């Protein structure tokens, strides 16, 4: 079992965030990224929304980064730790732009990029971006095909309803082979089928932990399953976030858990098929306490779940 590093103040989600996080600055996050790498955490993952309608502020909060520039910055501030998104909204921008952004980061970082795509859920955000919300699934299907074509073919070409290209050159290619690892986040059947066709990782959000084995079986039982799925991310805080970012109570994933409680829950996750997780941010008052806590996790928890 690997542990991702829960970076404070990448969002201000009511269900998971604590007041002290809002004071964490970009400079603090840079120090924390270097600290996470030193301690041996596996990856830092960046949530993404481009704009939040005011009606969603109470639950979602206003504070989100654009995933790819943030991943690039964190990769540039470090040397070994992987960077990911959780999630990047695939239909929100043209796939050529997405492919170029991710291959650029992968090339510059020496192959440390994973990307978790999502189709998006916030209709008002799509309306503001001028992206047809009810076509986001079909768009995502074409976009991922086009992105992989650009990443892997010397003479890429693609003909679709939403994107077409031929007689083009595309470099740099990703350093990683055959391409940047692609994960998908989400829980609906079409998402899981897309995981099976294209992805090496799945990031569930609304799936209950005990339902993960059945959903993995669903993915692997599809007739077009490509056989690449090896990673499943399920964080402690995942079960505290409901649909539309609603707040859910889960005493099994609360701040302040003991060492043995954390180890036991991670062991259970592993039995369910989870390969990477992150422990809850503790109830503390200041960023320095978070440096201490993440060191405690690295020293006390990581050896027990290796």
The region that residue 2 occupies, defined by phi over 0 for left and psi between -120 and 50 for alpha, beta otherwise, is: beta
Those residues whose C-beta lies under 8 Å from the C-beta of residue 290, and which sit 6 or more positions away, are 8, 32, 281, 282, 284
What are the pLDDT digits (tens) for 98-149? 999 999 999 999 999 999 999 999 999 999 999 999 999 999 999 999 999 9
Q: What is the pLDDT of residues 223-234, one digit of tens each?
A: 999 999 999 999
Averaged pLDDT, 56-62: 96
Contact (CB, 8 A) for 49 and 64? yes
Could you tell me if 293 and 279 are in contact, meaning their C-beta atoms sit under 8 angstroms apart? no
Q: What is the pLDDT of residue 124?
A: 98
User: Over the chain, what is the mean pLDDT?
Assistant: 96
* Torsion sign, CA atoms 100, 106, 109, 114: positive
**Does the pLDDT of residue 32 top 90, yes or no?**
yes
pLDDT tens digits for 143-174?
A: 999 999 999 999 999 999 999 999 999 999 99
The residues near 43 (Cβ < 8 Å, ≥ 6 apart) are: 2, 4, 5, 81, 82, 83, 84, 114, 276
What pLDDT, on the 0 to 100 scale, is given for residue 253? 78
**Tens digit of each residue's pLDDT (9 = 90 or more) over 205-222:** 999 999 999 999 999 999
């Amino acid at each position: 079992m690997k542990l991702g590093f829960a970076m404070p103040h990448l969002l201000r989600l009511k269900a998971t965030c604590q007041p002290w996080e809002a004071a964490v600055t970009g400079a603090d996050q840079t120090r924390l990224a270097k600290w996470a790498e030193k301690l041996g955490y596996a990856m830092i993952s960046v949530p993404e929304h481009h704009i939040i309608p005011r009606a969603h502020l109470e639950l979602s909060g206003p504070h989100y980064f654009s995933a790819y520039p943030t991943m690039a910055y964190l990769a540039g501030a470090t040397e070994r730790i992987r960077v990911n998104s959780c999630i990047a909204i695939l239909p929100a921008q043209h796939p050529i732009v997405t492919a170029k952004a991710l291959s650029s980061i992968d090339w510059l970082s020496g192959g440390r990029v994973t990307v978790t795509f999502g189709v998006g859920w916030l209709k008002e955000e799509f309306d503001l971006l001028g992206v047809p919300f009810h076509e986001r699934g079909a768009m995502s299907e074409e976009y991922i095909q086009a992105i992989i074509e650009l990443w892997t073919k010397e003479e890429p070409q693609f003909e679709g309803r939403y994107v077409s290209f031929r007689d083009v050159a595309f470099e740099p290619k990703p350093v990683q082979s055959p391409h940047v690892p692609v994960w998908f986040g989400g829980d609906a059947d079409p998402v899981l089928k897309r995981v099976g066709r294209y992805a090496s990782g799945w990031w569930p959000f609304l799936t209950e932990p005990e339902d993960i084995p059945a959903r993995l079986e669903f993915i692997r039982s599809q007739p077009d399953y490509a056989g690449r799925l090896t990673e499943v991310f399920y964080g402690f805080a995942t079960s505290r976030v409901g649909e539309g970012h609603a707040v859910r109570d889960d005493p099994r994933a609360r701040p302040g858990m003991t060492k043995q409680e954390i180890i036991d829950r991670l062991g259970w996750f592993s039995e369910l098929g989870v390969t990477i997780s992150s422990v809850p941010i503790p109830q503390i008052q200041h960023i320095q306490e978070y440096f201490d806590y993440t060191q405690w996790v690295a020293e006390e928890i990581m050896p027990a779940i290796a």
